[in-house]
A and B are shown apart, each in its own frame.
Chain A
Amino acid sequence: MMEILAKAPVEPVGDVTYATAEGLLGSVWLLVAIPLVSAAILLLLGRRADRWGHWLGVASVGVAFLLGLTYFFQLRGLENRSVELSLWDFIAVGELRVDFGLLFDPLAAVFVLLITGVGSLIHLYAVEYMAHDPGRRRFFAYFNLFVAAMLLLVLGNNYVMLFFGWEGVGLASYLLISFWYVRPAAATAGKKAFLMNRVGDAGLLIGIFIMFATLGTTQYDEVFTGVGSLTATTVLLLGLLLLLGAAGKSGQFPLQAWLPDAMEGPTPVSALIHAATMVTAGVYLIARSNPIFSANSTLQLVVVSVGALTLLLGAIIGMAKDDIKRVLAWSTVSQIGYMFLGVGLGGAAYALAIVHLLAHGFFKANMFLGAGSVMHGMKDQVDIRRFGGLAKYMKITWLTFMAGWLAIIGLPPFSGFFSKEPIIVAAFERDDWTAWLFGMAALLGAGLTAFYMTRLFVLTFHGPARWTEEIDHPHESPKLMTIPLILLAVGSIGAGALMVGPVPEWLEATAGLGGGSEAAHETVLSHLAITILSIGVTVIGAGLAWFLFRRGTATEPQPAGVLVTAARKNLYTDAVNETVFEKPGIFLTRALVYLDNRGIDGLVNALAAGVGGGSGRLRRLQTGFVRSYATSILAGALLVVAAFLAVEAGWLV
């Protein structure tokens, strides 16, 4: 342990300074305000806004995108490309000062463009997708609320502001997953997402308090400048807590279970929140906090391990799923694993992870919306075993989905190749034997990805039709849905190649992300060999899947070996969660209810309320006995007095 800590400090970042926002950039707060105001209008006007509300929702995000573009070009012309806008002193007590401020720097800028750009396309798609839903206006209100919170998350200039956005997106996500509340599964999934996120949030919040206690600030610039003065143990603890937060939000091991269940929400929600934006918040957190993570190599090792483990976990489970959205969801878990791998590797790989994040935002949103389009034409069915041969019936969906498929499996010249392959190379660049470990994991992941995505693609669009009886003629989706698909498909094809050069260069101006200038590491394998290998495993994986599934598949679950059964059961991670968290939680609740006899009465009341109404019920609302209360107070009093006397006698302290 001591050895690990001793080699901890890798490279102090040096002083971090941000310029003050001036001119047009002084209005950067509008980015958050516009969607927020739109959400408020939609919620407050109620039914009166039903007719035009969705268009207001689309327009607000569209305007935010245009504004984001303008700010982006403004930023390009500046010397110090990190501008801060302090709106007001939020909390200032004694030493403690929290600024209500925004930071617009290269990292924030690319996130803003991703969120508003992909976001406005998904909004547009949702206009049609939700057309027959009576709650469409409410849906757009939550959607706008989500965008505002997400923008706040990436635009804050300190950890408390980040936490504001963090909670906001969590809340919006909970509301949107539970949107179809009449389905019990949706309500349960909403709860699960909420609870797992809370675990992560608690980690993040305690991390923020540690920053306060040790550095006296949560402003990014001051934290990053001061991180060199912390002990290695503090940095490790701080980083692990931040990582816990990131893992919760991004569905990484061990908090991955909520993300696939979150697919119970409407498909545009899955596309925007659970594929393109919110789930990448964890990657953002780690990239933003890179001076903390770079300051401790143990910490980086943990992040890399989490990433590698999750990318394999997601890919293996993804191979065994038959629900089109679940496969995509596990694929998201797996792809974010690649991003964690990238940010964990540190140095130049930070930028690579961000490139992959952006490329993923395009192709995953594309495929989710494609899945939505398929479901739209297939009466909301999701079982890929009951699809097949849809290429003929939905040409546009087929072609756009194909673009996404080629992008994610990473064949050149599609975007996944340019974004994923460098991460694999970077994994091979580590200094010791772990280069092989993580390199091979990333390589294996690429092969598995090719397999399960090809399986999904072939089973859905090719082979014989295996539709259920109620479907006679699948139809293509209307234009409002296909236009966003086409635009996203173009992005899926081109984004990677276009971004892999300029984006890392652009990101260099972000505090601590300028690691690209250091001398290139030696890889344990030659670069060319890795490239050939990664294309090789991809082709093998895809080819195998095509060979196995080109003639369709059984429409019922088949008996399977140990590994496939395990994968179908999410590698038993749910079972682990249940024994480790759920059971003790239930036990604790029961024990407290038992001790607190009013709690038992609460249950009795519930029962009474269920049995009948009227004033007779109230008679039975008689509550616990005073004598039992007095006894429990007496017991408590005895304990407190005993504790004090024990302290006095020196037994406790």
Chain B
Amino acid sequence: MSELKLPSIDYAALAPTLILLGAALVGVLVEAFVPRRRRHVVQLAVALLAVLGALTMVVLNANDRLITIGGAIAIDGPALFLQGAILVLAAMALLLIGERTVERGGAFVAQAAVTAESADDRRQAEGAPGATEVYPLTSFAVGGMLIFVAANDLLTMFIALEVLSLPLYLLCALARRRRLLSQEAAMKYFLLGAYASAFFLFGVALVYGFTAGIPGRAAGVDFATIHAAVAESPSSSVLLFGGMAMIAIGLLFKAGAAPFHVWTPDVYQGAPTPITGFMAACTKVAAFGALLRVFHVAFEGARWDFTPVLGTVAVLTMLVGAVLAVTQTDIKRLLAYSSIANAGYLLVGVLAPTSDGVSGTMFYLVAYGFSVLAAFAVVTLVRDADGEATHLSRWAGLGQRSPFYAGLFTFILLAFAGIPLTSGFTSKFAVFSAAFDGGQGWLVIAGVLTSMVLAFPYLRVVVLMWLSEPGESTPAVVMPGWLTSAALTIGVVATLVLGVFPQPLLDLAAGAAEFVR
């Protein structure tokens, strides 16, 4: 038996992931050993500290450009930038998740096992403290996302995909109110997510077959091998294209691109709003981080082949998101369709063949994440005795009831609409100009046209809030606790600053736009 050779492991470079997964395990222990009264504070503290610790490690690692743990993980510019983005946005999301003053007991169900709409259920909805398992679940999901954007082979990526997805499925089911809706959303997300994972895995198998037979190189699904295989594999390219298509489908599902977006509105609507914000911000970063890596590193050599297909997907996504957003009557569904359209704009950045495309996409992800979390933070505040009032008719005249929060929400909507001097404009500008420069003018034209359409539903909400008389059913905005206030402030300030002084973050993204192979 030959001596087993262990791969070298750079623990410092992996530290962010390890911290998060470790914190998740600690969280599980906390559930077991800490008295129920204290769990909320302890869990929130553990999760937040882990996120901040991981963020510190990302900052300390900022200059790393390496591949470690046997080629499974690549810590390079995009990985570090996106990990940092995920952590910052996750910290904001945790603030929203931890909020307990807006609604007694928080946004989560006290006992997930209680039958929905039973007497017990109604009792728990009245203010029993929410389940604290959400914190370890969130930590696991964040840990999975950190691996997802740094994965250097398709199998690691697949495992990371599952690690980040499974906790999300559970989290979606934990809304305190409207539990049927929430559980239905989780079920749908789970079934369809499993379905999409199967596509991804099948794609991995096909690509593995494709890499077999390169002279002097073993078959494998790490990105360097795939890259080499694209250039010189003797295998049938049907394997490559079939595999590439299926991998793309798996990732586009997570990204919420049409026609794989169908789950998005239901899940966004049914999930507890802090989790919706978390998904809209962090999952999006993770999914596009993976798309960037797969298409800029592994399949780079086939760029001219995948660009038209994925470009069509991008156009379709923008169109579906923008046009259907117009017909929505529920604010969470409206934001879901908006996030679909934004996935289309992000795809435009992914398809720009330069490092400007990579940096533009990364900038966009951060900017959008801040805005969308702030938007969902406001959604958690507009409520009545039955919980959040998400139907748009209930938002009529909100500007006169609560001018401050309506003003903040207006600002965020203007950012979504891409009005200049908000981050929405600079980020769209960054991806569109990169794509135009890279010769993808048709995508930019589609992007500009659909963003013109998409501005309309946003402005409709603005007009509804400010120019309508408040009806009897217009709820008041409840005073947010300091956690929500903090998240909202961060989101709004970031949206403004990135719209007026985007340069520092653009520089950071531009400096982090090179992948290692």
Please state if A198 and B455 are interface contacts (CB–CB under 8 Å). yes
CB-CB contacts of A586-608 with B at 8 A, as 1s and 0s? 00110011001111001101100
Let me know if A179 is at the binding interface, CB within 8 A. yes
A589 x B323 contact (CB < 8 A) = yes
Min Cβ gap B248→A in Å is: 7
| A618 in the interface (beta carbon within 8 A) | yes
A506 at the interface (CB under 8 A from B): no
A164 contacts chain B at the CB level, 8 A cutoff: yes
CA distance A93 to B456 in the complex (A): 30
Residue B222 at the chain A interface, CB threshold 8 Å: no
Residue pair A637, B503 in contact (C-beta under 8 Å): no
Beta-carbon nearest neighbor of B452 in chain A:
A198
Contact A626 B191 (CB under 8 A): yes
Residue A201 at the B interface, CB < 8 A?
A: yes
A635 in contact with B259 (CB, 8 Å): yes
Contact with A645, one of B238, B333, B455, B510 (Cβ below 8 angstroms): B238
Q: Which A52-95 residues have a C-beta within 8 angstroms of B?
A: 88-95
Q: Which of B408-466 contact A (CB under 8 A)?
A: 414, 419-421, 426, 429-430, 432-434, 436-437, 441, 444-445, 448-449, 452-453, 455-456, 459, 463, 466
Q: In whole angstroms, what is the CA distance A44 to B386 when docked?
A: 30
| Residues A640 and B313 in contact, CB atoms below 8 Å apart | yes
- Does B452 lie within 8 Å of A609, measured CB to CB? no
Contact between B195 and A596 (Cβ–Cβ < 8 Å)? no
- Whether A618 pairs with B180 at a CB distance below 8 angstroms is yes
CB-contacts of B482-506 with A (<8 A): 500-503, 506
B480 CB–A CB distance under 8 Å? no
Chain B residues with Cβ under 8 A from A632's Cβ? 259, 262
Q: How far is the CA of A163 from the CA of B451 in the complex (A)?
A: 15
Binds B, one of A21-29, A205-213, A404-412, A417-425: A205-213
Measured CB to CB, the nearest residue on chain B to A617 is B391
A128 at the binding interface (Cβ < 8 Å): no
**Cα–Cα, bound, A213→B448 (Å):** 15
Across the interface, A641 reaches (CB within 8 A) one of B240, B245, B260, B326, namely B245
**Is A548 located at the chain interface by the 8 A CB criterion?**
no
Task: Let me know if A480 is at the binding interface, CB within 8 A.
Answer: no
What is the count of residue pairs linking A and B with beta-carbon distances less than 8 angstroms? 217
Q: How far is the CA of A644 from the CA of B432 in the complex (A)?
A: 25
Q: In chain B, what residue has the closest Cβ to A44?
A: B407
Cα–Cα, bound, A51→B305 (Å): 65
**B245 contacts A640, CB within 8 Å?**
yes
Q: Does B405 contact A (CB under 8 A)?
A: no
B39 neighbours in A (Cβ, 8 Å): none
Assess the A636–B260 pair: CB atoms within 8 A: yes
Pick from B54-62, B89-97, B181-189 the stretch touching chain A.
B181-189
Number of residues on chain B facing chain A (CB within 8 A): 91
Q: Is B356 an interface residue (CB 8 A)?
A: yes
State whether A609 touches B329 (Cβ < 8 A).
yes
Report B-chain residues with C-beta under 8 Å of the C-beta of A92.
503, 506
A641 and B246 contacting across the interface, CB-CB below 8 Å: yes
When C-beta atoms are compared, the residue in chain B nearest to A627 turns out to be B191
Contact between chains at B320 and A637 (CB < 8 Å): no
- CB neighbors of A among B317-373 (8 A): 319-320, 323-324, 326-330, 333, 356, 359-360
A94 to B357, CA, bound (A): 11
Contact of A644 among B242, B436, B453 (CB under 8 A): B242
Contacts of A90 in B (CB 8 A): 426, 502-503
- Assess the A641–B262 pair: CB atoms within 8 A: no
Q: B390 CB to closest chain A CB, in angstroms?
A: 10
User: Contacts A167-B420, A598-B265 given: A644-B330 contact, CB under 8 Å?
Assistant: no
Q: A44-B407, A91-B502 are in contact. Are A644 and B456 (CB under 8 A)?
A: no
Cβ B386 vs Cβ A629 within 8 A: no
Residues of A within 8 A of B452 (CB): 198-199, 201-202
CB-contact partner of A588 in B253, B323, B393, under 8 A: B323
- Within 1-56 of A, Cβ neighbours of B (below 8 Å) are at 43-44, 46
Is the CB of A132 closer than 8 A to any CB of chain B? no
A633 touches B356 (CB 8 A): no
Chain A interface size, under 10 / 10 to 19 / 20 to 34 / 35 or more = 35 or more
- Residue B21 interfacial (CB < 8 Å): no
B312 interfacial contact with A, CB 8 Å: yes
Provide the residues of chain A in CB contact with B191, threshold 8 Å: 626, 630
Smallest Cβ-Cβ distance to B455: which chain A residue: A198
Give every chain A residue within 8 A of B448 (Cβ-Cβ).
202, 205-206, 209
**How far apart are the CA atoms of A588 and B266 in the complex, in Å?**
22
Q: Could you tell me if A643 and B312 are in contact, using CB atoms closer than 8 angstroms?
A: yes
Q: Give the shortest distance, in Å, between A244 (CB) and chain B (any CB).
A: 12
The answer on a CB contact under 8 Å between B249 and A618 is no
> A643 contacts which chain B residues (CB < 8 A)?
245, 308-309, 312
CA A395 to CA B429, docked complex, whole Å: 55
Quick one: which of B192, B237, B419, B429 contacts A171, CB cutoff 8 A? Answer: B419
Q: Does B517 contact A (CB under 8 A)?
A: no
- Name the one of B360, B444, B473 contacting A93, with C-beta atoms under 8 angstroms: B360
Which residues on the A side are within 8 Å of B393 (C-beta)? 609
What residue in chain A is nearest B462 (Cβ atoms)? A175
A576 within 8 A of B: no
Least CB distance from A587 to B in Å reads 11
Q: When the two chains form their complex, are residues A592 and B445 in contact, meaning their CB atoms are under 8 A apart?
A: no
B63 at the interface (CB under 8 A from A): no
B244: CB under 8 A from chain A?
Answer: yes
Which A504-518 residues have C-beta < 8 A from chain B? none
For A43, A191, A629, the residue with the greatest tally of chain B CB atoms inside 10 Å of its CB is A629
* A209 pairs with B180, CB closer than 8 A: no
Contact between A640 and B309, CB atoms less than 8 A apart: yes
A-chain residues with CB within 8 Å of residue B459 when the two chains form the complex: 171, 174, 194
Q: Are A653 and B260 in contact (CB under 8 A)?
A: no
Q: How far does the Cβ of B96 sit from chain A's closest Cβ, in whole Å? A: 23
Q: Are B359 and A93 in contact (CB under 8 A)?
A: yes
B468 at the interface (CB under 8 A from A): yes
A212 touches B503 (CB 8 A): no
Q: How far is the CB of B36 from chain A (nearest CB, A)?
A: 28
A168 at interface, CB cutoff 8 A: yes
Contacts of A206 in B (CB 8 A): 444-445, 448
Task: Say if the beta carbon of A184 comes within 8 Å of chain B.
Answer: no
Q: Which residues of A contact B258 (CB under 8 A)?
A: 636
- Closest residue of A by beta carbon distance from B191: A626
Residues of chain A with a CB closer than 8 A to B330's CB:
602, 605
Q: Which residue of A lies closest to B501 (CB)?
A: A88
Nearest-Cβ distance from residue B226 to partner chain A, whole angstroms: 15
Contacts of A599 in B (CB 8 A): 324, 327
Contact A652 B262 (CB under 8 A): no
Cβ-defined contact, B324 with A596, below 8 A: yes
CB pair A630–B407 under 8 Å, yes or no, is no
Residues in A with CB closer than 8 Å to B403 are: 43-44, 46
Q: How near does chain A come to B379, taking the closest CB pair, in angstroms?
A: 17
* Assembled-state Cα–Cα distance A573/B428 (Å): 34
Chain A residues whose C-beta falls within 8 Å of the C-beta of B433 in the assembled complex: 93, 96, 209, 212
Q: B13 to nearest A CB, angstroms? A: 28
Contacts of A603 in B (CB 8 A): 327
Once bound together, how far apart are the Cα atoms of A640 and B310, in whole Å?
8
Q: Scan A209-244; emit 1 where CB is below 8 A from any B CB, else 0.
A: 110110000000000000000000000000000000
Chain A positions 156 through 194: 1 when the CB is less than 8 Å from some CB of chain B, otherwise 0: 000010011001100100110011011000010011001
Ordered by A's residue number, 8 sampled pairs between the chains whose C-beta atoms are within 8 Å are A44-B403, A181-B468, A190-B463, A205-B448, A592-B324, A598-B265, A602-B329, A615-B386
Known pairs A96-B356, A640-B309 / 16 extra A-B pairs, C-beta < 8 Å: A43-B407, A96-B433, A168-B419, A171-B459, A187-B463, A209-B433, A209-B448, A589-B326, A596-B320, A597-B262, A598-B266, A613-B473, A630-B195, A637-B249, A641-B245, A643-B308
Binding site for B on A (CB under 8 A): 43-44, 46, 88-96, 100, 138, 160, 163-164, 167-168, 171, 174-175, 178-179, 181-182, 187, 190-191, 194-195, 198-199, 201-202, 205-206, 209-210, 212-213, 588-589, 592-593, 596-599, 602-603, 605-606, 609, 613, 615, 618-619, 621-624, 626, 629-630, 632-633, 635-637, 639-641, 643-645, 647-648, 652-653
3 smallest beta-carbon distances between A and B, as pairs = A636-B259, A164-B420, A181-B467
